[in-house]
Amino acid sequence: MGRALVREWPPAWRPRGSERAWIAAFLIPYVAVFVAFMAYPVAFGLWMGRSPALYAELVRDPKFLPTVLNTLIYTGVGVNVTMFGAILLSGYFMDRSRWIKALLVLFMLPWALPAIPAFLAWHWMLVGHWGFMNSLLDKVFGIEGPIWFNDYWLALGSNIVATIWKWMPFWTLIFLAGRMAIPQDIYDAADVDGAVGVSRFAYVTFPLLGNLYLICTLLSTLWLVGDFTTVFFVSGGAPARTTEVLATYGTHLAFDSGDPPLGSAAMLSILPLLIPLAILLIRRLRSREVQL
């Protein structure tokens, strides 16, 4: 793999006659789909959740604040453990011996496995007295396992662990690609300076991958905050709908309780947190152009 050199990109120019038509032709599919299936629904969603009374109603719902807290714990722990684990594991997979290459192929399986079967498997693994996990604990170690979904922290933890299992491979692959783009001479120079092991990671690898790490963390945060599938299939909100996150809670309000505006409001309530993250992400993506 070649190294990823970011070249000086020439400035934009004013297109001439026929080029302008071509640009329009290339952009129209995206813009049309964007307006019809993104901009309009977003605007409609904001319009649905426009009334302040909805937010007052939400705050009065005793389920709302715990749900926000769950979402923050789920996303915060899930993203950070995934990312830190992924960047460490990407170093492990840099080893090009044959069996580690083979292991990488296997390790990517959770990413290629669709979410629903994967999370159903997690659910059945942990459910009740005789899920696979408890049978294993019992038969191999002679321990009686807990009823995982009867305990708030165990259920929330199960959701988080399942998410990490599913998404860590993808980010490991991204960081692996990033590490492969680091020129070997930088490491050679670091070797001369005696940077090995932890200090090599802390002073060479991590600073070089810092921007990528931040971008990936932001992206995965934005993706995970709205995650519906994991919680819906793994814990299903158990025990007694205490581990729900905003995505499942809002959907529940909108479609089971038949109150779409309230459901929209529930989901929009976290927007003040997400917009700064999205802006930071865009700035980091742009800054790569000027920064060395």
Partner 1 sequence: MKRIGKIALGLVLAIWTLMPVYNMFLIALDDDAAEYSGHIWPSDWYWESFRVIWRQDYWYLEHFWHQFGNSCFMGFMTMGLTVAIGSMASFALDRMRMRHGWALGNAAMLTYALPSSFLAIPFVHIMHRYGLSDSLWSVIAAQTMFAAPYAILIFQHYGRLIPLELDDAARVDGASPGQMYWHIYVPLMAPALVAVGTYALLLAWNEYLYQFLLLSSTDSMTVAVALDQFFDSDEAPWNYMMSTAIVYSLPPIATYYALRRYMVAGLTMGGVKG
Residues 28-67 that bind partner 1 (CB under 8 A): 29-30, 33-34, 36-38, 40-42, 44-45, 48
* Distance of closest approach, residue 70 Cβ to partner 1, in angstroms: 15
| Residue 86 binds to partner 1 (criterion: CB under 8 A) | no
Tokens of 145: 């396992």
| Residue 153 binds to partner 1 (criterion: CB under 8 A) | no
| Residue 280 binds to partner 1 (criterion: CB under 8 A) | no
Chosen residue from 76, 91, 110, 239 binding partner 1 by CB under 8 A = 110
Task: Let me know if 208 is exposed, middle or buried by CB neighbors in 10 A (0-12, 13-18, 19+).
Answer: middle
Pick the stretch among 59-67, 114-122, 144-152, 187-195 that binds partner 1 (CB under 8 A): 114-122
Q: Which is nearer to partner 1, 27 or 59 (CB)?
A: 27
Q: For the beta carbon of residue 93, count every other beta carbon within 10 angstroms.
A: 17
Across the chain, how many H-helices and E-strands are there? 16, 0
Q: Which of residues 163-222 bind partner 1 (CB under 8 A)?
A: 165, 173-174, 176-178, 180-183, 208-209, 212, 215, 219, 222
Cβ-proximal residues to 125 (8 Å cutoff; 6+ apart), any chain? 131, 132, 133
Phi-psi region of 174 (alpha: psi -120 to 50; beta: other; left: phi over 0): alpha
| Residue 84 binds to partner 1 (criterion: CB under 8 A) | no
Chosen residue from 53, 65, 116, 189 binding partner 1 by CB under 8 A = 116
* Distance of closest approach, residue 57 Cβ to partner 1, in angstroms: 16
> 231-240: string of b/e by CB count within 10 Å (b at 16+)?
bbbbbbbbbe
